Amino acid sequence: MQSFLIANPKGGVGKSTLATNLAGWFARQGACVMLGDIDRQQSSREWLKLRSHTLPHIGSWEINADAPARPPKDTTHVVLDTPAGLHGKKLTQALKQVQRVIVPLQPSIFDILATRHFLDQLFEEKELRRQQIDVAVVAMRVDARTRAAAELERFLADLQWPHLKVVAHLRDAQNYVQAAAHGLSIFDLPPSRIERDLEQWQPLLDWVARRI
């Protein structure tokens, strides 16, 4: 089973957008997908309520502080959406459920500063080192050719984690907004409509498909 934690302590960086669309991609590939949501707002869970039963199925599960839920045995892929401010015991508990962490990050100074503290805490987690969990950053709502994207690259280069890098840059597009409003991922839209988005997603999809 492959499992992914979508995490960043800063609100509004695109965690649910990333989580729902990644789950949608796996479902489109025929995987048995569970989308978990430990965010109080339950954005991913609300998105699932909008999703038509005629679309590739994505199941739901939850993790709480008292009784961590387990996905069914036939689950092949787990995507776990998380709340802003994730830290401490809740972060440790979430890491026990996953093999990889994806950190969505927008190119604003406030997002960068908040994320720096989170990454420092993340890499200090014994659970991360014990399980050798892979971590990657996805730049959200930014073009890879812009100065803002270059600033993100410099930010990561200044950190003490040499293997950490931006694996993909996802643009700010109406495809995400319009798809989410109907319980869709962008991968449920016509291929001709998402050609540019799929090109941007491909490096991330290559990363998630890589053997651990």
Distance (Å, whole) CA 31 – CA 104: 23
Give the residue numbers spanning the domain of 112: 2-209
> Residue 149 — φ and ψ, nearest 5°?
-65, -40
Ramachandran area for residue 139 (φ above 0: left; ψ -120 to 50: alpha; else beta): beta
Residue 118 to residues 44, 121, 183, 185, Cα–Cα distance (Å): 22, 5, 30, 28
CA 51 to the chain's CA centroid:
19
Per-residue pLDDT of the chain (212 residues), as tens digits, is 899 999 998 888 999 999 999 999 999 999 999 998 775 666 788 899 999 999 999 998 755 555 556 677 789 999 999 887 777 888 888 888 889 999 999 888 888 888 888 888 888 888 787 778 889 999 999 888 888 888 888 888 887 776 788 999 999 999 999 999 999 999 999 999 999 999 999 999 999 988 66
Amino acid at residue number 195: E
Q: Which of the 8 DSSP states describes residue 57?
A: P
| Structural domain count, the chain | 1
CATH code where residue 54 lies: 3.40.50.300
Q: Which pTM was predicted? A: 0.91
